[in-house]
Structure 1
Amino acid sequence: MPDSYPEKNYPQEKSSPRRSPSTRGGGEEGVVAVDETGSEYTVKISERAMSWQRTAVLLFTEYIVLAILAFPYSFQVLGMAGGTISTLLIGIATLYTSHVLWRFCMAYPQCRDIADVAYYLFGEKKVYWYAAFVGLAANNLFIMGLHCNAGATAINTLGYTMCTTVWGVVLAVIMFFGSLIRDFRHTTPLGIFSAGTMFICFLIVVIGHGVQGTPNGYIDDVETPLSWTVWAPEGTTFVQGTSAILNIAYTFIGQALIPSFVGDMAKPEDFPKALYLSMTAELILFTITGAVVYSHTGTILTTAPAYGSLIKKYAQPAAAFTLPTIIIVGILYSLVTSRAVFFQIFPENSKHRRSHTVKGWSVWVAIVAIGWVIAFIIGESIPFFNDLLSLISSLFDSWFGFIFWAFAYKLLYKKSGYFTSFYRSAETILNVVMLIVGLFFFGAGTYAACESIRISYATGAIKTPFGCVNSGFTFTR
């Protein structure tokens, strides 16, 4: 795989909507710049200045998240071998498609977000930018809403049983204020803290299941057997199996944010270093979490998130350590969404975008506030965990995780050829497989997710929207 690509110059009329081409590395603070009116100003808010180390922190922040604790549920449905193989295959596929995405961003350096990628990928027409932005916004707003919901569950598990909807409001307000940061570089300390606390939670969950004896909810070997299976247990349905795979895919697939990270790097050619580092950690942590917890909780007592199968003295600390990650990752997704909108309102050389002006900050605050209001409504209207992960994966990750990058590969090597060598031929075939997988996720996956939601409502497995019912876990000891 080539390490770099020559920069391309594009005429103004071919840039994405309301976007002007720009050069890399020109966003350092203190630089005197000229805005769109010809006036000089001093850059106060940097862009295109992140190092690969800071980018790695953002990737850790994006991937080392609460969804790790849903892996035991997927292992419960798919079996030990089925869960492990699915985790490894989806992880490797994500690594490869992320590399194709990076290659595309190197060939089209004016791309600053996933909507820009879609614009150049599908014919340089505005409709593709807007369609991709709708997908990006919907994907991120769903995740932000999920974080309101998951945060309320964690707080209720701690024993603070105020109305669940009120906790959702509190969390949304906290994440709103955190999202007022406009520079990715300044999120690095938050990212380190987020990944660190989630790693501590991982240790508590894995070690806790090993030392606690029997898990929360255990009665006896007859009513609550702790046995596990190698493959999917007998009677596993298509809906259950597909939903479990989608849960794994949701945790791995984060390509929708990667163009925003690459586009803000001073040396985007260094992105693979961050990618390989984060993916190695993901494969290790995700597989260990699923396998270890499932081996102790079996086919009956596995929960999602996994701290629900811990006894009280371990579960509550684990729930507490998820809260920083829930809040900080919610902030990260808000930043990506808000910046995509903000960048369309102000061109890159605008003083309102690169300096502290009343107009610039007023627009930014309004964008962030609207996003969190919508996210809160989503979180309270769709108050369930696994089914929401599955729906997000099928609707959006099928495109952002697989389908887009098969088309990106096609565009990148259209002139040089797809079967010019053994390696290129194998890569071409692989991209056809990625396209088929993406289409399966989109079609069959969406059906399975919707059917699972219907079953959950029919069986009364989830609470009513905007309710005050305690969503936390209860403990038998």
Structure 2
Amino acid sequence: MVEVGNQDGYDYAHDVFGTEEDHEIKYKTLSWQLVAVLMIAEIVSNGMLSLPSSLAVVGIVPGLIIIIFLGIFATYTSWLLIKFKIRHPDVHTMGDAGMILAGPFGRELLAFGTVVFAIFGTGSQILAGQLALGTLSDNKLCLMLYSGIFAIPTMLISFPRTLDQLSWISVPAVISILVAGIVGMIGAGVHPASDRHLSAAKSSSFFDAFFSITNPVFAYAGHFMFFILISEMKRPQDAMKAAYTLQGFAMTFYAVFAVVVYVYLGDAVLSPAFSSLEPVWAKAAYGIAIPNFLIAGSLYTHTASKLIFVRIFRNSRHLHSHTPLGWGVWAILIIITNGAAFVLAVGVPIFSYLIGIAASLFAAWYTYGVAGAFWLHDTYHDEGGLRAWRRKWFQTMLCMFTFAAGAFICVAGLYVTIRGIVEAYHDGTVGAPFAC
């Protein structure tokens, strides 16, 4: 007989949202298919637009190898994260996982990183929307106004309390970025660069090479949301199906888009790649991609707000009921989070570099490093300590490599980003805050 609360190998009794039969607001409603859609809408966004420029620095062959390897690596770390979540159903965010790994310090550090990276992610999507609206209107308005125009619907779409209400509108967002990518590839093929130069492989300095490699590294940087997404699944045991769908789609789409656009536009391709297209095709691609930019920004805002909201009201009636206090706090969190993203995006001239710093400090660990630490922790505590590590020596070495890879990406990413800031100031390419 199956024990109550421990069905199908998952302990629902200790789940972060518990059993929800009598609750007004039910969170655990997502199927794995809708989780896959949410993951794709969040991850396969404007990150893909920087990949052709990465190939322009290192060449087609190394660039393609890196994109595919990182996709496979991200699939493996997805498995590690999901395995940890199933083992610890009370984990809702990276902060909760940090509590298990390193106590209160780990909880606050990983929770802080999640909120910061989510806010920066929203700001990145606001800038993508700014660029899209500016391209469509031939920059007839101040760019800051475009950012404000884009930030408002991003905030409004973030307001639903549960992810299932965002999942259905994520379907057109996924379609939009897929169609926009196809339109971009067609536009590059119809109007290729006449003097394009292509390279199978190129020799570059460490700074140039790693600066370009950070594009594909962080194009897979969506793992920080996985615990929150899985926590709202009807069957968390099916989460790996969503992860396989995400990584298969992302890896294939990234590789095809990067190679096709680079082959037609050559070494002079810009980042974002749509800006290298002929004006008509650039407008078409950016216009079609706008729904994805909106939904991805909303998901980031929702993530930052949801972490804080559940932290405040966990095990409280305000979490599961339509109370004035619950909805009031939720609205304030959404407004503050979105407002912070807007102010940072338009008020900090080096914001694009700060995104790189945040990604190096946090996304490098969330996507790669700490996943290895999760497996090492559970195996050590659940299966016999060092003996278990020695018995599963291959997996142990792989997880140690995963942790080391996260550390390397973090340190190297910080180095190239900070150096990029120094060079930008030296070259005078840094603009003024709140400028048009």
Which residue identity lines up with residue 80 of structure 1 in the other structure?
I
Alignment partner of 1:369 out of 335, 339, 347: 335
Give yes or no for contact 2:12–2:18 (8 Å, CA) kept in 1: no
Which residue identity lines up with residue 330 of structure 2 in the other structure?
W
CA offset digits 1:424-450 (Å, max 9, x no partner): 322222112112211111112101111
Which residue identity lines up with residue 217 of structure 2 in the other structure?
A
Residue in structure 2 matched with residue 150 of structure 1 by the alignment: 128
Residue in structure 2 matched with residue 15 of structure 1 by the alignment: none
For 2:397 and 2:134, the matched residues in 1 are separated by 49
For 1:102 and 1:197, the matched residues in 2 are separated by 28
Alignment partner of 2:65 out of 85, 89, 99: 85
Determine whether 1:341 maps to 2:321. no
Residue in structure 2 matched with residue 472 of structure 1 by the alignment: none
Residue in structure 1 matched with residue 249 of structure 2 by the alignment: 281
Which residue identity lines up with residue 201 of structure 2 in the other structure?
W
Normalized against structure 1, the TM-score is what?
Answer: 0.85
**Deviation at 1:364?**
0.6
Give yes or no for contact 1:8–1:108 (8 Å, CA) kept in 2: no
Structure index of larger Rg: 1
Alignment partner of 2:389 out of 415, 418, 429: 418
Alignment partner of 1:108 out of 88, 93, 96: 88
Residue in structure 2 matched with residue 61 of structure 1 by the alignment: 41
For 2:273 and 2:82, the matched residues in 1 are separated by 33
For 1:355 and 1:44, the matched residues in 2 are separated by 5
**Deviation at 1:454?**
2.1
Residue in structure 2 matched with residue 403 of structure 1 by the alignment: 369
Residue in structure 2 matched with residue 473 of structure 1 by the alignment: none
Which residue identity lines up with residue 244 of structure 1 in the other structure?
S
Determine whether 1:307 maps to 2:274. yes
For 2:324 and 2:351, the matched residues in 1 are separated by 39
Alignment partner of 1:360 out of 323, 326, 334: 326
Give yes or no for contact 2:124–2:352 (8 Å, CA) kept in 1: no
Give yes or no for contact 2:17–2:27 (8 Å, CA) kept in 1: no
Alignment partner of 2:30 out of 28, 32, 50: 50
Residue in structure 2 matched with residue 454 of structure 1 by the alignment: 422
**Deviation at 1:120?**
1.1
User: Following TM superposition, where does structure 1 have runs of at least 4 consecutive aligned residues deviating by more than 6 angstroms?
Assistant: none
Residue in structure 1 matched with residue 291 of structure 2 by the alignment: 324
Which residue identity lines up with residue 168 of structure 1 in the other structure?
S
Query: Aligned pair in 2 of structure 1 residues 169, 176: CA closer, same or farther (>3 Å)?
Result: same
CA offset digits 1:258-300 (Å, max 9, x no partner): 000111112111111111111111111000111111111211x
Give yes or no for contact 1:239–1:449 (8 Å, CA) kept in 2: no
For 2:49 and 2:78, the matched residues in 1 are separated by 23
Query: Aligned pair in 2 of structure 1 residues 104, 364: CA closer, same or farther (>3 Å)?
Result: same
Query: Aligned pair in 2 of structure 1 residues 289, 444: CA closer, same or farther (>3 Å)?
Result: same
Question: 1:461 is paired with a residue of what secondary structure?
Answer: coil
Identity across the alignment (%): 24
For 2:82 and 2:9, the matched residues in 1 are separated by 10
CA offset digits 1:160-184 (Å, max 9, x no partner): 4211112112222221111111110
Alignment partner of 2:201 out of 218, 224, 231: 231
Instruction: Show structure 1 runs of 5+ residues with no match.
Output: 10-20, 33-42, 219-224, 469-477
Normalized per residue, the structure richer in helix is 2
Determine whether 1:271 maps to 2:239. yes
Alignment partner of 2:223 out of 239, 244, 255: 255
For 2:55 and 2:160, the matched residues in 1 are separated by 38
Alignment partner of 1:431 out of 384, 390, 399: 399
Query: Aligned pair in 2 of structure 1 residues 376, 425: CA closer, same or farther (>3 Å)?
Result: same
Normalized against structure 2, the TM-score is what?
Answer: 0.92
For 1:321 and 1:383, the matched residues in 2 are separated by 27
Query: Aligned pair in 2 of structure 1 residues 244, 390: CA closer, same or farther (>3 Å)?
Result: farther
Residue in structure 2 matched with residue 17 of structure 1 by the alignment: none
Give yes or no for contact 1:247–1:390 (8 Å, CA) kept in 2: no
Query: Aligned pair in 2 of structure 1 residues 23, 181: CA closer, same or farther (>3 Å)?
Result: closer
**Deviation at 1:381?**
3.3
For 2:56 and 2:355, the matched residues in 1 are separated by 16
Residue in structure 2 matched with residue 207 of structure 1 by the alignment: 186
Give yes or no for contact 1:304–1:386 (8 Å, CA) kept in 2: no
For 1:377 and 1:231, the matched residues in 2 are separated by 40
For 1:45 and 1:466, the matched residues in 2 are separated by 40
Residue in structure 2 matched with residue 140 of structure 1 by the alignment: 118
Give yes or no for contact 1:56–1:274 (8 Å, CA) kept in 2: yes
**Deviation at 1:400?**
0.7
Residue in structure 2 matched with residue 16 of structure 1 by the alignment: none
Give yes or no for contact 1:149–1:383 (8 Å, CA) kept in 2: no
Give yes or no for contact 1:150–1:326 (8 Å, CA) kept in 2: yes
Give yes or no for contact 1:25–1:265 (8 Å, CA) kept in 2: no
For 2:350 and 2:41, the matched residues in 1 are separated by 23
Determine whether 1:390 maps to 2:356. yes
Instruction: Show structure 2 runs of 5+ residues with no match.
Output: 1-7
For 2:319 and 2:37, the matched residues in 1 are separated by 24
Query: Aligned pair in 2 of structure 1 residues 51, 334: CA closer, same or farther (>3 Å)?
Result: same
For 2:307 and 2:156, the matched residues in 1 are separated by 18
Which residue identity lines up with residue 47 of structure 1 in the other structure?
Y
Give yes or no for contact 2:93–2:227 (8 Å, CA) kept in 1: yes
For 1:385 and 1:135, the matched residues in 2 are separated by 17
**Deviation at 1:80?**
0.5
**Deviation at 1:387?**
3.9
Q: CA RMSD in A?
A: 1.9
For 2:354 and 2:58, the matched residues in 1 are separated by 19
Residue in structure 2 matched with residue 168 of structure 1 by the alignment: 147
For 2:355 and 2:61, the matched residues in 1 are separated by 22
CA offset digits 1:172-214 (Å, max 9, x no partner): 2221111111110111221101111001101011111112243
